[in-house]
Chains A and B, each alone.
Chain A
Amino acid sequence: MSASHPACDCAWTRAATDAWVDDELATDQVAELERALATCEACRAYRDGLVHYKALVGSVPTPPLPVALAARLSLPALERRARELTPRPPRSIHAARAAGALAAGFLAWVAFGTVSDRFAPRPPVGAVVRPPVLDVPTVPADPPPSPEALLLAFGEAVELAEHGATIEAFARFERIRIGAGTRVPGELAPKALFWTARLAPTLAEALARYDALARDHAASPLAATALGAAAAVCDRLGRNDEARVRRVALVRRHPASAEARDAALALVRLGAGELRDEHVRWLRTHAPDSPQTAAALRETGGEGSND
């Protein structure tokens, strides 16, 4: 068995070797990897095994295009299939339409009754006139959707989102979020909110929703993801200060999350002075063996040491 060199950061070297075989390692890191490999026999063995593995999987034959596919992808066949796949309105919409029709019928019935009264035979003079008894069942107010119905609707909305029906999916997740509110325990409301953020039409809207998720559902496992996503949105909007605030919050509030490690590394990279050192120390303390820590130490030359 090959021995690791005591000075080698094997976790970083091996992660970098994976990126190197995929031609994804940054040019400025290749020389560093070569130096590390030169000193560590175990990492060289890892590299050799990885190269062998890549050659092995590269020799797996690619599936040929079947002849039968051409007929399935003709325009008429696709249009037929598209009609079959087009989602039908959910039951709630059918129910709403039915209720609407009932209400319209009822109003028409009342209106007709009012008009028809003019032509009805008049009671004899002196007879007691009783108001007519409406034998129509009272329509109760719409009950809130049950958790089961919301879960079902959630599944349908995910399907829609995954198949590119962004606008419809957004609307449905929004309804689910409002429907679930605080009434349905569990992750349904934060999940629906997260989806609306992902599908939001603008970055600003997405940001507001990620922030709301991080704030209003702080105990949810999605809160850390939302903060990380909010920081990334701020990056895209060029709001560097706001991105930093969210990353700092992420590191402090959700220190055990993977997103916190990414955030800490970003703070190391973007920060300067105390902020950078603080997060190098944070990474060393909270995730000593993580690739993010290895990268932070490498990029800062080991600054922020606890020693």
Chain B
Amino acid sequence: MTEMPETPEERDARAVRAVRAGHRDAFAELVHRHQERVHRLCVRVLGSEDDALDAVQDAFARALVRLHTLDEPRYFGTWLYRIALNGACTARRGRKRAPETLVDTDGASAPADVRPSPGETAAARELSRVLREALDELPEAQRLAVALCDLEGHSYAAIATLLAISKGTVMSRIHYGRQRLRAILERRLGR
């Protein structure tokens, strides 16, 4: 009888247990598996690539030092994502300089290795800029829900867990947030 392959959650749980048992190197496996998602989230929340680098590192460092407090090793991914989201939101709130951004993929402030490739069109960059500015006009609660859903592709249940709110509240925030966002976009894009 063939064994069922491990799910990503089971792999995470195994790595978490290994780190707790003293095999610190196993944390690299967790980093490898989650860095892309955490990085994308931090870029979405903070906009600036430099700030996002700090936030990603801080999220993993906090996870490393607090790993013993994680009740369910299977849920390492959600737990880490929550740490990253809270850290990025705190950094964003503490940041004095303007403008704040949720979407900044136009490369204007990015270091050389993340600048858009020549293939990326000016239209895509312009869209990023307009969307970023439009999102910044939303209240934080709606902005996070809309960004997590529409830009990060999370389910309502996942967003509810991340933001510690009910699924009904997620639906409501997305619904009203999108209405505002669409009105702003229509005004800015003249459609």
Contact = CB atoms under 8 A, between A and B. Distances in A.
A291 B49 contact: no
Contacts of A58: 150
B90 A19 contact: no
Contact of A86 (B25, B65, B169): B65
Contacts of A61: 105, 116, 120, 124, 128
B18 interface: no
A126 interface: no
A165 B70 CA distance: 9
Interface stretch (A65-73, A204-212, A213-221, A239-247): A65-73
Given A22-B156, A66-B114, A73 B35 contact: yes
Nearest to B128: A60
Interface string A42-80: 000000011001101111111111111100110101110
B86 A67 contact: no
A164 B49 contact: no
B83 A164 contact: yes
A15 B179 CA distance: 10
A86 B65 CA distance: 8
Given A18-B175, A75-B25, A75-B28, A68 B61 contact: no
B113 A66 contact: yes
A53 B182 contact: yes
B interface SS class: helix
Contacts of B185: 53, 56
B61 A82 contact: yes
A262 interface: yes
A257 to B, nearest CB: 12
Contacts of A86: 65
B113 A162 contact: no
Contacts of A66: 39, 49, 53, 110-111, 113-114
B131 A85 contact: no
A72 B57 contact: yes
A56 to B, nearest CB: 7
A18 B60 contact: no
A162 B60 CA distance: 14
A7 B133 CA distance: 38
B2 interface: no
A243 B61 CA distance: 40
B111 A60 contact: no
Interface in A127-171: 159, 162-167
Interface of A: prevailing SS: helix
A81 interface: yes
Q: In which size bucket is the chain A interface? A: 35 or more
Nearest to A17: B175
A164 B174 contact: no
Interface string B62-99: 11111001100000000100110011001000000000
Nearest to A66: B114
Contact of B105 (A53, A63, A258): A63
Nearest to B35: A73
B49 A63 contact: yes
Interface in A5-51: 14-15, 18-19, 22, 24, 49-50
B8 interface: no
A57 B69 contact: no
B61 A78 contact: yes
A18 B178 contact: yes
B127 interface: yes
Interface of B: 24-25, 27-28, 31, 35-36, 39-40, 43-44, 49, 52-53, 56-58, 60-66, 69-70, 79, 82-83, 86-87, 90, 103-105, 110-111, 113-114, 116, 120, 124, 127-128, 131, 149-151, 155-156, 164, 166, 168-169, 171-172, 174-175, 178, 181-182, 185
13 contacts: A49-B182, A50-B182, A62-B40, A63-B44, A63-B52, A72-B53, A78-B60, A79-B64, A84-B61, A85-B61, A163-B83, A164-B62, A165-B69
